[in-house]
Amino acid sequence: MTKVSILFDIIRWEEKALYEAGKKLGLDVEMVDVKEKAFNLSKDCGIEFGDIALQRSVSYYRNLHTTAYLEYKGVRVINSLHTAIVTGNKMFTTLVLQKNNIPTPKTIVTFTSDAAMKVFREEFNGKAVLKPVSGSWGRMVALLNDEAAAQAVLEDRDYMYPMYQVFYMQEYVNRPPRDLRIFVVGEEVITGIYRYQPQDDWRTNTARGGRAVKCEITEEIRELALKAAEAVGGGVFGVDMMESPHGLIVHEVNNTTEFKNTVPATGVDIPKIIMEYAMKEARR
């Protein structure tokens, strides 16, 4: 019997659905709470984590470090350590996308608030988006739409952890009040949604009230999503795109993506498809 372990730190709707889908497929599924485990670096982990592990930890650091542990101990992880490193950092992701000729917003990185302010004025003409290089759910993603706002946000960053002093600044993309979240599993684009921004926010994250509506997958969307997924190393992803005046552009590739809102909006059984993929990969 194929054994799949699901690594988690919080059980959300997604992790329950993955567990149940695995059981239905006849897999031996083990839920592993990384908060309770001791990862002994000096020993082999044997068959403890089964034939393959599905990484679902919400915390960026737990996710990355437990993936590293398993991979170095010879357990395949979906997604791989390389992929977790690239997609867990917006700067690394942008670099990889650009290297692979995938359209992505103009982005400039600086390391002091003064240098960032200069870039804001001279490169972005006084309107830009500032993001932490690691983060999700739209947290601390700030729209700098005038000089005073920019100054306030950039100065605040000087008093935060060093990670926030990596000033990842991006052109504001003149898009409709929505973006696209496209789901890739292995070689397939399985479904996608538009996320409409709520009345009181410029960000479209469903964690901020963004509304999920089914998106028809065109050939252009399919090709772009697969190209982005391949560029970051392949696996299971939510590829985020925006409709810019010059066509579709990719702004993020999500590594441990949520799909609670996508399943009812699209009718696609995402947990089942992911577990089938894990099963196939385990036997490969």
Ligand X SMILES: Nc1ncnc2c1ncn2[C@@H]1O[C@H](COP(=O)(O)OP(=O)(O)O)[C@@H](O)[C@H]1O
281 scored as a contact of Mg ion (CB under 5 A): no
Stretch that binds ligand X, among 20-28, 51-59, 138-146, 271-279 (CB under 6 A): 138-146
C-alpha to C-alpha distance for 169 and 95, rounded to whole angstroms = 14
- First-residue to last-residue Cα distance in the chain: 14
Q: Of these partners, ligand X, Mg ion, none, which one is at the site of residue 131 (CB under 5 to 8 Å by kind)?
A: ligand X
Instruction: Respond yes or no on whether the N-terminal peptide bond of residue 79 is cis (omega within 30° of 0).
Output: yes
Binding mask 224-263 for Mg ion (x = CB under 5 A): ----------------x-----------x-----------
Which 121-150 positions form the footprint of Mg ion (CB under 5 A)?
none
Kindly state whether residue 251 participates in binding ligand X, applying the rule CB under 6 A: yes
**Helix 219-231 and helix 90-99, axial crossing angle in degrees, nearest 10:** 110
Judged by beta carbon, residue 42 or residue 199, the one nearer ligand X is 199
User: Which residue is associated with the tokens 């542990």?
Assistant: 69
Distance CA 113, CA 280 (A): 48
Alpha-carbon distance of 186 to 222, in angstroms, equals 13
15 scored as a contact of Mg ion (CB under 5 A): no
Q: Scanning the structure block, which residue is given the tokens 């390389």?
A: 82
- CA torsion sign for 223, 227, 228, 229 is positive
CB-nearer residue toward ligand X: 22 or 192: 192
The β-bridge relationship of strands 52-55 and 3-8 is: parallel
Q: How far apart are the C-alpha atoms of 190 and 38, rounded to whole Å?
A: 36
Choice from 18, 75, 81, 141 touching ligand X (CB under 6 A): 141
Tokens of 29: 């599924």
State the residue for tokens 């469903």: 206
Residues 3 to 62 in contact with ligand X, rule: CB under 6 A: none
Q: Is 213 in the site for ligand X (CB under 6 A)?
A: no
Closest to ligand X by CB, 35 vs 139, is 139
Site string (94-123) toward ligand X, x via CB under 6 A: -----------x------------------
Asked whether position 252 contacts ligand X by CB under 6 A, the answer is yes
Tell me if 157 contacts ligand X by CB under 6 A: no
Mutual angle of helices 13-24 and 270-283, in 10-degree steps = 60
Nearer to ligand X, 240 or 281 (CB): 240
Burial of 244 (0-12, 13-18, 19+ CB in 10 A): middle
Which option in ligand X, Mg ion, none does residue 14 bind, with CB closer than 5 to 8 A by kind? none
- Closer residue to ligand X (CB): 5 or 89: 89
Residues that bind ligand X (CB under 6 A): 105, 129, 131, 135-139, 141, 170-173, 175, 179, 203-205, 240, 251-252
Residues that bind Mg ion (CB under 5 A): 240, 252
